[in-house]
Amino acid sequence: MTQTQSRMEAACSLLAESERRYLLYQLAETRRGNLEDIVSEIAAWELEEGASVDSEYRQQVYVSLIHNHLPRLADYDIVDYDLRSGDIVLAEGFDDIRPLLEQFKQTESEPELRETPLP
């Protein structure tokens, strides 16, 4: 396996989780964010439209971010974060996965693309 193949597989694996994608969608806009704000955004995206986000669900999202998604993204130099301040910033490695992330976002934001089977 070449280094390029290995990096592509890692990128696909990282973006396979919706919470990681939503986190990166949010950060892609400004390159930085606050953990509390991002937790609220992710919780709202994951719930059906019009549903209210309760504190228990926000806590689940928070725990999954700090124990799973943020450390994994940091290991691949996609984000840097500080749990004390809640600051999350994109790192140099983000630019490597940006094109793939943009493809995911386009597919998720345009339902007709999700319903079209690949040839």
Per-residue pLDDT of the chain (119 residues; tens, 9 = 90+): 566 667 778 888 899 998 999 999 999 989 999 999 999 888 888 776 556 667 888 899 999 999 999 999 999 999 999 999 999 999 999 999 999 999 988 888 765 544 444 44
Residues 6+ apart with CB under 8 A from 115: none
Domains and CATH numbers, the chain: 3-115 (1.10.10)
Residue 62 to residue 102: CA distance in whole angstroms: 24
What's the pTM value of the predicted model, to 2 decimals?
Answer: 0.82
Q: Are 112 and 105 in contact (CB under 8 A)?
A: no
Angle, vertex CA 66, rays to CA 64 and CA 68, nearest 5: 55
Which stretches of 70-111 are assigned E, i.e. beta strand?
A: 79-82, 87-90
Dist CA 57 CA 72 (whole Å):
21
